[in-house]
Amino acid sequence: MLFAKNLSHSFDYLLFENVNLEINPKDKVAIVGSSGSGKSTLLHILSTFLKPKKGEVFYKGKNIYKLKEKELIEIRRREFGIIFQFHYLFNTFTAYENLQAAALLADREVDFKLLKRLKIDKVIHQNIQTLSGGQQQRVSIARVLTKKPKVIFADEPTGNLDKENANEVIDILFEYCDENDASLIVVTHDMEIAKRFKSCYLLKDKRLIAKPIRS
Ligand SMILES: Nc1ncnc2c1ncn2[C@@H]1O[C@H](COP(=O)(O)OP(=O)(O)O)[C@@H](O)[C@H]1O
Ligand SMILES: [Mg+2]
**Confidence (pTM):** 0.92
Domain CATH number, residue 39 = 3.40.50.300
Under 8 Å CB-to-CB from 167, ≥6 apart: which residues? 193, 196
Instruction: Kindly state whether residue 68 falls inside one of the protein's structural domains.
Output: yes
pLDDT profile of the chain (215 residues), mean per 10: 97 96 96 93 96 98 96 94 84 94 92 93 96 90 95 92 90 95 95 93 95 66
Instruction: Kindly state whether residue 197 falls inside one of the protein's structural domains.
Output: yes
- Predicted pLDDT at 214: 56
Instruction: Kindly state whether residue 81 falls inside one of the protein's structural domains.
Output: yes
Q: Which atom of ligand 1 is nearest to the CA of 39?
A: 22
Instruction: Kindly state whether residue 198 falls inside one of the protein's structural domains.
Output: yes
Which residue range forms the structural domain that includes residue 46?
A: 2-210
- Predicted pLDDT at 153: 97
Distance 11 CA to ligand 1 centre (A): 8
Q: Which residues pair with 19 in a beta bridge?
A: 7
Distance 174 CA to ligand 2 centre (A): 21
Q: Which atom of ligand 1 is nearest to the CA of 37?
A: 22
Instruction: Kindly state whether residue 86 falls inside one of the protein's structural domains.
Output: yes
Ligand with an atom nearest the CA of residue 84: 2
Instruction: Kindly state whether residue 215 falls inside one of the protein's structural domains.
Output: no
Instruction: Kindly state whether residue 153 falls inside one of the protein's structural domains.
Output: yes
**Cα 197 from Cα 192, distance rounded (Å):** 10
Ligand with an atom nearest the CA of residue 38: 1
Residues with CB under 6 A from ligand 1: 11, 15, 33, 35-41
Domain count, the chain: 1
Q: Which atom of ligand 1 is nearest to the CA of 155?
A: 21
